Structure 1
């Protein structure tokens, strides 16, 4: 009686509905230990596309964008050349796939050592010391005695692995020489089968039931297609005459002929006593049922339906962005928490084999999201603006040396691939640090410039700069191309010195505090926003409006350092003509490239309006 009372207290029971009793249908459901043999795993992978995609997709996504090394350019090139020589990316992808499929795989780090049973000494690997990489599965590697020393680096892992070779020969391999991929985590070693000892489990173990349900549903729907339309003919006395061979043969010949006639001209000829009807099967709800099973598979595999099935998101306002972002976060976690620690010794050997021993060298996993051209342009602009801010000055001192920012920016742009050919251009023209004049050259140039001035204007020191009004401009180098366009559009009195004004400060400023432009030569590519507009009284100045981040940034920088600007906003433009009668609404703006020369600093001439120039 006490046991009965205990049972009543420990669980909810209802005798009316049989809930919680021996006759409760839910009480018959329980979890059993899933057992999958290697033959079943291989058959599922080969015979069905869902298991193959569940195994392959996360492994492929974790390797397809690979990683970006953060180091000096020669170091990056050396490491990447070594990765290519050894096919590191391909070997890791293969091992990751096989690890997920079988529950265990490894990449053997071949350094040519005499005894692979000894621990790998990474510091002994020299340039070219990494000889080969070999992928092995748990079917080939047998775990030896498990290390139970809690102070050991290899606690819970085999002290040695045994590789079964040809002719029954075996070779002992120390775990430090293996990059291990374990597939799905095994809950406890004590519950592992002998064949899976020290390894993980196949990712198909927990997903195979969902896969089979989805495959079975798809198969049943496929068989229903053959019964989509059924013809029914009612024949008088049909059942009574079954058994008469002559009758049966006559019936078969009769309706074979009827079907032939129907197939030829679409007409079915029947006796007046026969009845005919056709029934069509409805498939309206089958797609929803199948997709429900596919969603269960997607959840079991932790792969979005859009990625698993390769289909566009469905439903109102559905983009699939959040699903893919969560999935990419999961892949990034797998890269950082599983793959990177497993590959630690391999990466150390790879760097040393490439001749790189710098401890500051590291890598980051490349993002999986594919950026649009607009996003690339925005990132490029943000990066360039940040670089300009870093080389700005505070109280006349640079925040970060321009050379350092330049080298880091070049590495970033090369890795992002936003400026094709930048590597080759840097090799041809050199880095900023290689083009900068030395202190001796700067001193000599300043002394020569001082000697060329009239005696009254010579400075006693290079940093002695009296505030003056400031007019900054860039002249158009490819003037011929723009003049040709202007003449074709009907302009007659074209400004001889085409230029872009950057600053016009009547407030005196220290010219040397204004800094200098990032580039001495600026090319604005063809296309982009261009517009014709008139400036001044009655639109006297006919100008081509353009835009360039460099011009806007320099104008803003000069104003922030004390220069004045008397207009509401700054709009880069090139004045084409002063005066004249031309309808700008009929002018097609110039769409070609614009090449601007270096910045020219001048004092403001208040009588500039007497001339032709702006």
Structure 2
């Protein structure tokens, strides 16, 4: 018998096609490394792609899904930008902040969106934007990727353009409800493109050249988290079960409909007395017994935390921001998680928001109808963290002490420093001062200060002597001309 087993093993090992892998250990007794192994029979199964209607319903009805889409854009654009008041007023006129928020959110939700600038530059929308002929920026409109399409003729074939192989013309339709189909073409220079989650080029071809929704990679985690929530509600509903014991219940149920009706009346009576008078009336002979049993919910909170941590892991959003929960554990502050999140927000600002604002500023600068233009076009994002009043007072104090040191050394002008710090209506941390003249940068030693003063007096005397000689020459020349 043992010899037969050996022969079977030898025959099995002599046929590598029967094994699912040949690069590691295998055992025919435990199926380790064979095609019957539970590990080797586990493969990655691609999930279904979320269509536009499913994404819209998730965004509308699921709070976690909507928060995942919005939170990065909201944190990036919070406070908008710090710039001159005249520039901010013009940006508010065209509702630039809300347009950027909508474009960023719809881009993350659907995998792509366009922010289109409707500009009066005396040209058609399908022509490149002419900055030299812009009369006014009329408005900004946002269109998601399902309202946009293009043909092969709309692709850029110029190797020397940065968007070679990408659409140069977009066809936009307002067909949201199927009742109207108004479409128009717009040139790429009149648009700012917002994307979603990056995917390989092979998948972008099948996705009409767009990214995918940020909800695609975390849809399973959101589903599992919602299942835990729903199951927990079912547990709470059955948290307390009432047990009513009646002697001879089985016999009474088989006796007839009249007995069943009397039993139902008895049960209804017990429920009514318990609800109205908060008391239960039972038969004293011991034929009835009333009992409550509670279900155990131990470990339910930990289960919620584990599934919520899974969502945070796949989205990169810390629990303090996504779920609004305080960090747990000894000495836990959540500072490192927030710092990592702020790095992600800064990266999104640099990749999506900053190019869009610079594109808008180029259009605004060229407006001929805008006569009240600012003198300063520099701008910056506000800080991601909002200090408390005490922290803000400490910050102002530190800057005041630093400015005072520079003023005492004569490095900066007090009036110019005050103008940069407070001249724009509020305190500014980052200021730009005028560059000193080269002679003002010469370092003066205490030992050479008197020599420099003597040299300066000599230069002044020399200049005054030269001025006197010039005046004498002019005076003598005038006298000669006067005497003929």
* Structure 1 residue 261: Cα displacement: 2.8
Is the contact made by 1:163 and 1:173 (CA closer than 8 Å) also made in structure 2? yes
2:339 counterpart of 1:331: no
State how 1:179-218 maps to structure 2 within 5 Å: 179-188=192-201, 190-192=202-204, 196-218=207-229
Is the contact made by 1:143 and 1:198 (CA closer than 8 Å) also made in structure 2? no
Is the contact made by 1:68 and 1:415 (CA closer than 8 Å) also made in structure 2? no
2:334 counterpart of 1:311: no
**1:115-149 superposed Cα distances (whole Å, 9 cap, x missing partner):** 111222334436xx222111111121113334365
Partner of 1:170: 183
Which of 64, 71, 92 in structure 1 is aligned with 2:100?
92
Is the contact made by 2:21 and 2:33 (CA closer than 8 Å) also made in structure 1? no
Alpha-carbon distance between aligned partners in 1 of 2:296 and 2:107, rounded to the nearest angstrom: 44
SS in 2 for 1:279: strand
TM-aligned CA distance change 1:8 to 1:98, over 3 Å: closer
TM-aligned CA distance change 1:28 to 1:247, over 3 Å: farther
Partner of 1:373: 389
Partner of 2:7: none
* Structure 1 residue 150: Cα displacement: 4.2
Alpha-carbon distance between aligned partners in 2 of 1:24 and 1:5, rounded to the nearest angstrom: 12
TM-aligned CA distance change 1:23 to 1:278, over 3 Å: farther
* Structure 1 residue 409: Cα displacement: 2.8
Gaps of 5+ in 2: 1-13, 435-453, 458-484
Partner of 1:348: 362
State how 1:394-433 maps to structure 2 within 5 Å: 398-410=410-422, 414=426, 416=428
**1:324-355 superposed Cα distances (whole Å, 9 cap, x missing partner):** 22212211111012322344322311344466
State how 1:22-421 maps to structure 2 within 5 Å: 22-26=35-39, 27-69=41-83, 76-113=84-121, 114-125=123-134, 129-145=136-152, 146-147=155-156, 149-165=158-174, 167-188=180-201, 190-192=202-204, 196-243=207-254, 244-263=256-275, 264-270=277-283, 271-353=285-367, 361-393=377-409, 398-410=410-422, 414=426, 416=428
Higher mean Cα deviation, 404-413 or 213-222?
404-413
Partner of 1:602: none
Is the contact made by 1:143 and 1:197 (CA closer than 8 Å) also made in structure 2? no
Partner of 1:438: none
TM-aligned CA distance change 1:256 to 1:33, over 3 Å: closer
SS in 2 for 1:322: helix
Higher relative contact order (CA closer than 8 Å, sequence separation 6+): 2
Alpha-carbon distance between aligned partners in 2 of 1:11 and 1:125, rounded to the nearest angstrom: 69
Gaps of 5+ in 1: 70-75, 419-431, 434-460, 465-614
Is the contact made by 1:176 and 1:345 (CA closer than 8 Å) also made in structure 2? no
* Structure 1 residue 276: Cα displacement: 3.7
TM-aligned CA distance change 1:235 to 1:165, over 3 Å: closer
Alpha-carbon distance between aligned partners in 2 of 1:391 and 1:358, rounded to the nearest angstrom: 29
Alpha-carbon distance between aligned partners in 1 of 2:372 and 2:198, rounded to the nearest angstrom: 35
Higher mean Cα deviation, 409-418 or 48-57?
409-418
SS in 2 for 1:65: coil
* Structure 1 residue 382: Cα displacement: 2.2
Is the contact made by 1:105 and 1:180 (CA closer than 8 Å) also made in structure 2? yes
Partner of 1:577: none
Alpha-carbon distance between aligned partners in 2 of 1:392 and 1:412, rounded to the nearest angstrom: 24
* Structure 1 residue 14: Cα displacement: 4.0
Aligned-pair Cα RMSD in Å: 3.1
Higher mean Cα deviation, 209-218 or 252-261?
252-261
By percentage of residues, which structure has more strand? 1
TM-aligned CA distance change 1:156 to 1:34, over 3 Å: farther
Alpha-carbon distance between aligned partners in 1 of 2:340 and 2:113, rounded to the nearest angstrom: 27
**1:563-590 superposed Cα distances (whole Å, 9 cap, x missing partner):** xxxxxxxxxxxxxxxxxxxxxxxxxxxx
Alpha-carbon distance between aligned partners in 2 of 1:150 and 1:349, rounded to the nearest angstrom: 26
Is the contact made by 2:72 and 2:345 (CA closer than 8 Å) also made in structure 1? yes
Alpha-carbon distance between aligned partners in 1 of 2:15 and 2:156, rounded to the nearest angstrom: 48
* Structure 1 residue 321: Cα displacement: 2.2
* Structure 1 residue 83: Cα displacement: 0.9
SS in 1 for 2:22: helix
SS in 2 for 1:131: strand
Alpha-carbon distance between aligned partners in 2 of 1:230 and 1:165, rounded to the nearest angstrom: 55
Alpha-carbon distance between aligned partners in 2 of 1:57 and 1:35, rounded to the nearest angstrom: 23
Alpha-carbon distance between aligned partners in 2 of 1:32 and 1:12, rounded to the nearest angstrom: 28
Is the contact made by 2:421 and 2:429 (CA closer than 8 Å) also made in structure 1? no
By percentage of residues, which structure has more helix? 2
Alpha-carbon distance between aligned partners in 2 of 1:310 and 1:357, rounded to the nearest angstrom: 42
* Structure 1 residue 238: Cα displacement: 2.6
Alpha-carbon distance between aligned partners in 1 of 2:322 and 2:128, rounded to the nearest angstrom: 41
* Structure 1 residue 93: Cα displacement: 0.8
SS in 2 for 1:232: strand
Is the contact made by 1:158 and 1:198 (CA closer than 8 Å) also made in structure 2? no
